[in-house]
């Protein structure tokens, strides 16, 4: 059992070393042109905030489309389905963009804090070392709050997407007045889930703005 595990363990170790070397080369190239890890982190948080703003707008648009479908009287049901499905697919893309942006933030933050800790050990002045350690502690605490807010916002998208997906699938195979009635019965749930999504997005965006301001 131990022998069988060795190759996979070695492969994992080599993979980690390779990724570490890639990260070092990436940071090194940027630092040569005056871009520090701190700047990269702020830039990625800024990108995440923008992705959340775009997602919030898209989910709001999808809800409005859903309402218009529920309130429709007559019309081409296939066209109605196509429009609702298009809103759903755009929402999925926006949600994926938010997840990707958040995932891109975490490794940079970890690398920045690790480098910061290492640098504190090189101070010859104990007062400056203490001040830097206190600042690191506060920055890490602020970042932890930000990450929690971003992840809550990310998770709030799932219930809305699941509700939309169910209704789009149902409508695809039931293009009739009964299907429209079924959509109407779920409107309240979708409105509630979307309202919660918007609240979490706005909290996360506010946390991102506070963190960015604190890093300037």
pLDDT digits (tens, 9 = 90+) for 43-101: 999 999 999 999 999 999 999 999 988 876 666 778 888 989 999 999 999 999 999 99
* This model's pTM is above 0.75: yes
pLDDT tens-digit map of 127-160 = 999 999 999 999 999 999 999 999 999 999 999 9
The predicted pLDDT at position 18 comes to 46
User: Would you say domain 36-214 falls under CATH 1.20.58?
Assistant: yes
Query: Within the chain, where are the H helices?
Result: 2-32, 37-70, 77-120, 126-172, 177-214
DSSP classification of residue 75: S
Average confidence score pLDDT of the chain: 87
Q: Take residue 200 and report the two structure tokens written for it.
A: 């979490």
Query: Is the confidence at residue 6, as pLDDT, over 50?
Result: no
Domain boundaries along the sequence of the chain: 1-35, 36-214
The mean pLDDT of 91-120, rounded to a whole number, is 97
């Amino acid at each position: 059992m131990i022998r069988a595990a060795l190759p996979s363990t070695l492969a994992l170790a080599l993979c980690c070393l390779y990724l570490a070397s890639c990260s070092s080369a990436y940071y090194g190239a940027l630092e040569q042109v005056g871009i520090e890890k701190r700047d990269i982190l702020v830039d990625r948080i800024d990108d995440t905030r923008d992705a959340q703003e775009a997602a919030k707008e898209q989910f709001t648009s999808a809800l409005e489309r859903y309402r218009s479908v529920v309130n429709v009287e007559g019309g081409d049901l296939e066209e109605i389905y196509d429009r609702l499905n298009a809103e759903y697919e755009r929402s999925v893309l926006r949600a994926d963009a938010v997840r990707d942006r958040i995932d891109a933030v975490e490794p940079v933050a970890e690398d920045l804090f690790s480098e910061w800790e290492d640098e504190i050990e090189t101070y010859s002045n104990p007062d400056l070392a203490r001040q830097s350690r206190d600042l690191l502690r506060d920055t890490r605490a602020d970042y932890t709050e930000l990450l929690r807010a971003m992840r809550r916002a990310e998770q709030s998208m799932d219930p809305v997407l699941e509700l939309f997906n169910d209704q789009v699938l149902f409508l695809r195979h039931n293009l009739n007045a009964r299907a429209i009635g079924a959509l109407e019965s779920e409107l309240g749930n979708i409105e509630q889930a979307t309202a919660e999504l918007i609240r979490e997005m706005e909290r996360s965006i506010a946390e991102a703005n506070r963190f960015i301001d604190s890093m300037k």
